[in-house]
Amino acid sequence: MKTRILPVSKDSILEACKILQQGDLVAFPTETVYGLGGLGLRLESVRKIFEAKGRPSTDPLILHLPSPDLKRATESQVIGCPISEFSKILATRFWPGPLTMILPRGSATPREVTAGLDTVAVRYPAHPVARELLNALQEPLAGPSANRFGRISPTDARAVLQELDGKIPLILDGGECSTGIESTVISLADNTPTILRPGAISAAEISQAIGCNVVTLTPSLEEKTPAISPGTLTSHYAPQTPLYVSTRPIEYFDPPYQYILFTSKNSPSLPHVRFLTREGNPEVAAQSLYRILRETDSLGAPAILVDPIPDSPLAPALRDRINRASSGTAEWRNGGWIFTARTKN
Ligand code: TXA
Ligand code: MG
């Protein structure tokens, strides 16, 4: 199959709709990362998503809703009852935006979408192209990140092509994603709102909106209870080059390793050193993270070393992604790097 990349226009969005309505897949931009879209209520499309990504059928998909109206989604049986007060508050406060809510599954949502779970993940994205597409379709679009399973999520059309060339007919090119890391995933399926995946919308913001503390699922808990969020394995988002997180801010830059530093302040500009942000801005760091991981991964270095991420509201999300991509930690000792492998699940 030939994969085309089309710049966003009225015509290309219409073309994307046509392809989707025929049961095929289209990669589309969201504010977080590019999604691999297929009609979420149609089995044929859902199966194609799992196949194109090489994703195990045990890992559920997110449905991108055609509107932020939760009542409409329950009426059409995409999500089931009851929908909690918390979800109404969060939808009003954070949609459109990078927040995914886990709610009861409605009878119209195929079990394949939710990997057999009685819950379904839904979000209403902020990217104008995603919204235009959803508005034209008027039905939910299943959309996992548009990468092959276990690889780094794509934040521009070229990265999608690297991942899925020949596997899908169309990529809508809407430029670089602004957030750069996947949405915050929060489970509202029981009485304890629980963050399953940290993202740009922080636990503090959510807690403030609903007036009660949300719990964040820690990786160790996650490993013991994989069924809670089957897709959030610790070994995820991995580059092919082994990546190590330095235990302290990096001060030694010997080749042949590649270095990814948080900021350019007090850091040398060397060919094998990249900065997530020149100014120490965590939002810029999140936006550039996957692009820089992809670029450094393609250079054939024996290892990539990453600075520790300083505290900020985005730190939990950034650390989560970097830790998942990592093979372990690195420490400078006696004139050389000592690598300590992490045990992966
Ligand atoms: O920002 C995003 O969320 C992007 C864009 C394209 O919208 N999508 C995305 O989808 O990151 P994906 O499939 O790569 O990640 C979805 C995550 C997975 O970790 C999956 O296991 C979890 O959400 N998930 C989906 N449905 C779930 C459910 N019913 N219960 C628990 N976790 C669920
Ligand atoms: Mg993904």
Are residue 192 and residue 85 in the same domain, yes or no?
Answer: yes
Q: Is residue 233 part of a domain?
A: no
Q: Mapped to the 3 state alphabet, what secondary structure does the chain carry?
A: CCCEEEECCHHHHHHHHHHHHCCCCEEECCCCCCEEEEECCCHHHHHHHHHHHCCCCCCCCEEECCCCCHHHHHHCCCECCCCCHHHHHHHHHHCCCCEEEEEEECCCCCCCCCCCCCEEEEECCCCHHHHHHHHHHCCCEECCECCCCCCCCCCCHHHHHHHHCCCCCEEEECCCCCCCCCCEEEECCCCCCEEEECCCCCHHHHHHHHCCCCEECCHHHHHHCCCCCCCCCCCCCCCCCCEEEECCCCCCCCCCCEEEEEECCCCCCCCCEEEEECCCCHHHHHHHHHHHHHHHHCCCCCCEEECCCCCCCCHHHHHHHHHHHCCEEEEEECCEEEEEECCCC
Residues 30 and 161 in one domain: yes
Residue 117, domain member (yes or no) = yes
Same domain, 247 and 126: no
Task: Name the token pair of 163.
Answer: 């991942």
Q: Is the peptide bond before 96 cis (omega within 30 degrees of 0)?
A: yes
Question: What's the angle, vertex CA 45, arms to CA 12 and CA 127, rounded to 5?
Answer: 45
Q: What is the predicted pLDDT for the residue at 231?
A: 47
Let me know if residue 234 belongs to a domain. no
Q: What is the pLDDT along the chain (345 residues), one digit of tens a residue?
A: 999 999 999 999 999 999 999 999 999 999 999 999 999 999 999 999 999 999 999 999 999 999 999 999 999 999 999 889 999 999 999 999 999 999 999 999 999 999 999 999 999 999 999 999 999 999 999 999 999 999 999 999 999 999 999 999 999 999 999 999 999 999 998 889 999 999 999 999 999 999 999 999 876 534 433 444 544 445 556 799 999 999 999 999 999 999 999 999 989 999 999 999 999 999 999 999 999 999 999 999 999 999 999 999 999 999 999 999 999 999 999 999 999 998 755
Q: Whose atoms come closest to the Cα of 182: which ligand? A: 1
58 and 207 belong to one structural domain:
yes
Q: Is residue 221 part of a domain?
A: no
Q: Are residues 26 and 104 in the same domain?
A: yes
**Which one of 99, 229, 234, 235 would you pick to mutate in the ligand 1 pocket, going by the greatest count of ligand atoms within 8 A of its CB?**
229
Give domain status of residue 231, yes or no. Answer: no
Q: Are residues 193 and 295 in the same domain?
A: no
Domains held by the chain: number: 2
Q: How far is the CA of 153 from the centre of ligand 1 (A)?
A: 12
Measured in whole angstroms, how far is the alpha carbon of residue 128 from the centre of its chain?
A: 18
Q: Is 250 found in the same domain as 183?
A: no
CATH of the domain at 74: 3.90.870.10
The Cα–Cα gap between 42 and 47 comes to 9
CB of 345 closer than 8 Å to CB of 261: no
Residue 140 within any structural domain of the chain: yes
Question: Same structural domain for residues 174 and 273?
Answer: no
Residues 6+ apart with CB under 8 A from 112: 43, 46, 47, 50, 57
pLDDT on residue 230: 44
Beta carbons of 20 and 26 less than 8 angstroms apart: yes
pLDDT value of residue 344:
54
- How remote is the CA of residue 342 from the centroid of ligand 1, in Å? 24
Does residue 193 sit in the same domain as residue 302? no
User: Pocket around ligand 1: residues whose beta carbon is below 6 Å from it?
Assistant: 30, 32-33, 35, 59-62, 98, 100, 102, 114, 117, 119-121, 125, 143-145, 182-183, 185, 196-197, 229-232
pLDDT score recorded for residue 222:
41
Which of 181, 200, 216 terminates a domain? The answer is 216
To which residue do tokens 């794509």 refer?
Answer: 154
Centroid of ligand 2 to alpha carbon of 59 (angstroms): 10
Q: Do 68 and 144 sit in the same domain of this protein?
A: yes
Final residue in a domain of this structure, among 198, 216, 234: 216
Point out the domain boundary residue: 197, 216, 235: 216
Global pTM value: 0.95
For residue 72, being part of any structural domain is answered with: yes
* Per-residue model confidence (pLDDT) at position 63: 98
Mutate to test the pocket of ligand 1, among 182, 187, 190, 236 (most ligand atoms within 8 A of CB): 182
Pair 184, 312 in one domain? no
Q: Is the bond preceding residue 242 a cis peptide, omega within 30 degrees?
A: no
CA 61 – ligand 1 centroid, Å = 5
Measured from the Cα of 98, ligand 1's closest atom is 1
How many Cα atoms within 13 Å fall on the side-chain side of residue 117?
25
Instruction: Quote the domain boundaries for residue 123.
Output: 4-216
Are the beta carbons of 285 and 312 closer than 8 angstroms? no
Whether residue 238 lies inside any domain: the answer is: no
Which of the listed residues 50, 53, 61, 62 should we mutate to test ligand 1's pocket, taking the one with most ligand atoms within 8 A of CB?
62
Domain co-membership, 37 together with 178: yes
Protein residue with its CA nearest to atom 10 in ligand 1: 144
Distance (Å, rounded) from C-alpha 161 to C-alpha 240? 17
